[in-house]
Structure 1
Amino acid sequence: MTTIEKRLTVEPLSGWTGALIHGADLSQPLSDGEIATIREALLRWKVVFFRDQDLDHASQIAFGKQFGDVTPGHPYEGTTAPEGFPEIHTVSPKAYDHRYGADCTKRRGAAGPGWHAEVTPLINPPSHSILRAETIPPFGGDTQFSNVAAAYQGLSEPVRAFIDELRAEHRFGAAFDAERSSEKIGDLVRTNPLATIHPVVRVHPESGERVVYVNPSFTREIVNLAPRESRHVLDLLFAEVARPEYTVRFKWEPGSVAFWDNRAALHLAPQDAHHLDHDRVLHRITLVGDVPVGPNGVKSESISGEWFGAA
């Protein structure tokens, strides 16, 4: 445990990923030193956590604005945001049923969202996410995070050199073929498709680290490879980013907050609580991101969808 700034203490939670920050009151404006401490911890640990925070929608948004512009809650789901707070995206079984229908929720079950960063099919995916817990089940419902900069370094040098030159298509709904779905989510994707070609390896705009920038929820295929080749390469990378040594598991409590860098971390939503009769309600905001750039200097290219800006 190390003290980096007068009031804040940063406690690493694993060898690569995640740190718990003590001494912060996120409901109040932060000092320049506190902001710098949190930024430094994010760059090193990719996700930071806070306990016992007294936040509502307004104060969560105010906290986020100290680190960047806050986006709308979701590119598809803005109409489900709480009244007066278009930046808030609520994560709960009831909210998901309202957006996509109860049948979709039940059908997906344990095959629901896999490892992902927020909405990577955007030309400028959100740079950061801030998720706060309101109602938490007595057990289950943990979220996992993976450090994809560490995953890149874990690959052999020839593999790193190979993937440095690749690009991949990210598409909303790619994980469960929403384009063919007859459900509400399929209608959203068909009428307003969201897709971008990103570098498979992204250079982090602040740290300069190279990160594996694919994920099983949104990455559809590697372009300029045969389908069979693309599948094998993606399976290799998906397995690498999910290796346990690169991950941390966070147990939520009411008032807990997770703040992570979507440019260097993936997260995995829990799949162990759908069958339990317990509510789980969290609220998320995201910060405006930039256009990814690969090691060769080539930027991402939009196929369909607009810049995702401030609310």
Structure 2
Amino acid sequence: MDVIPLDAPVGAELRGVDLAKPLSDDEIAQLRDAFLAHHLIVVREQDIEGEDQDRFVQHLGPLLAFDNGVYHQFMTNQHVENAAMSGSGRLLFHNDGAFRSRPRAGTSLYAIDVSPTSPPTSFANGVRAYELLPENLRKKIDQLSAVHILDYDDPEQESNRVRQADFPAGRTLDDVRHAVHPMVVTLPYSGQKAIFVSEFYTSHILEFGPTSTEGEDILQQVFAVLYDEGNVYSHHYRNGDLVVWDNYGVQHARSGAIDSNPRHLRRLVLDTLSW
């Protein structure tokens, strides 16, 4: 098995591997080292079943069960059981579950049936962006936390950032899913630091408050580096592609709306990184 860094600001491709077969101990060690170093793993041209994706991803940690008790769901525009409720529009960059007290550790998608018009998943490197911030800004956000919101009652949230400052009169944080996390997180095993605020879920910086122009200016400075095109890789799926990424080190987005052509991917979520 070979680990080939992508010609991109994040990610590496595994080559010379058949995920329909169990990995050797040496290959498992290679996978884990590559995941820590590159934060996103791509494996192409795989003809696998669900159990093969499960086995591969579990080399990085235990899977999380969804609310219905199963460990997989489908990101799809087909009418199937266990389809995720993710809409069909563009999805802004985010870390999965940032509005929860314990966000997801990682995510994997396997392309079962995708068309050439299927929108890509784009990835922004939170580790690289942190390192690129001016030193004074890094030191500032190291000491700050942010409020993250998911508002189930807002039909526009999938394509628009929701801020507490924009709530209608009478609506409070108690009416939405929300959590507070440091603006900078430390990744397990590697000890690297990554930006943990996003254009999707982040409402405001806690210490500045929801209506602070200074707090919003800090967020926009961070977003400008994080979402610069030089810090983003877009993966255009072909059938048989598998991707898995670190949800703390990398943010992802659906970079376009889904049309009527097939876009059917199997999704797994890592509960923790653990080996």
TM-score, with structure 2 as normaliser: 0.83
Q: In the aligned structure 2, how far is the partner of 1:160 from the partner of 1:225? A: 17
Deviation track 1:183-225 (CA, whole Å, cap 9, x = no partner) reads xxxxxx95xx532210001111211111111111111111020
**Is 1:224 aligned with 2:207?**
yes
Q: 2:70 aligns with which of 86, 104, 127?
A: 86
Residues 13, 248 of structure 1: 8 Å contact kept: no
The answer to which structure has the higher helix fraction is: 1
Amino acid in structure 2 at the alignment position of 1:31: S
Structure 2 gaps, min length 5: 152-156, 168-173
Change in 2 beyond 3 A, CA 1:95/1:160: farther
Match of residue 269, structure 2, among 286, 295, 301? 286
Give the Å deviation of 1:164.
0.5
Segments of 4+ in structure 1 off by > 4 A? 174-181
The counterpart of 2:55, out of the listed 38, 43, 62, is: 62
For 1:113, the equivalent position in structure 2 comes to 91
Query: Does residue 182 of structure 2 align to residue 199 of structure 1?
Result: yes
Pairwise CA distance, 1:267? 1.0
Of 109, 117, 124, which residue of structure 2 is paired with 1:146? 124
Q: CA RMSD in A?
A: 2.7
How far apart, in 1, do the equivalents of 2:49 and 2:177 lie? 31
Q: Kindly provide the CA deviation profile for residues 242-275 of structure 1, in whole angstroms up to 9, marking residues without a partner as x.
A: 112222121211111001111111111131x43x
What CA distance in whole angstroms lies between the structure 2 residues aligned with 1:264 and 1:119?
14
1:48-197 alignment to 2 at 5 Å?
A: 48-73=41-66, 78-79=67-68, 86-94=70-78, 105=87, 109=89, 112-173=90-151, 175=160, 177=162, 193-197=176-180
Q: Secondary structure at the match of 1:132?
A: strand
Matched with 1:307 is none
Q: Secondary structure at the match of 2:91?
A: coil
- Higher normalized contact order (CA 8 Å, seq sep 6+, divided by chain length): 2
Name the count of aligned residue pairs.
Answer: 255
User: Per-residue deviation at 1:63?
Assistant: 2.2
Higher strand share: 2
TM-score normalised by L of structure 1: 0.74
Q: Alignment identity in percent?
A: 26
The DSSP-based 3-state class of the residue aligned with 2:214 is helix
- Whole-Å separation in 2 of the counterparts to 1:217 and 1:21: 30
More divergent stretch after superposition (43-52 vs 22-31): 22-31
List gaps (5 residues or longer) in structure 1: 1-7, 80-84, 182-188, 291-311
Choose which of 247, 250, 253 in structure 2 pairs with 1:262. 247
Q: Provide the rounded CA distance (Å) in 2 between the counterparts of 1:197 and 1:15.
A: 31
1:20 aligns with 2:5: no
Q: Secondary structure at the match of 1:165?
A: coil
Classify the secondary structure of the residue corresponding to 1:171.
strand
Q: 1:99 to 1:202 in 2, by over 3 A?
A: closer
Q: Contact conserved, 2:162 with 2:203, CA < 8 A, in 1? A: no
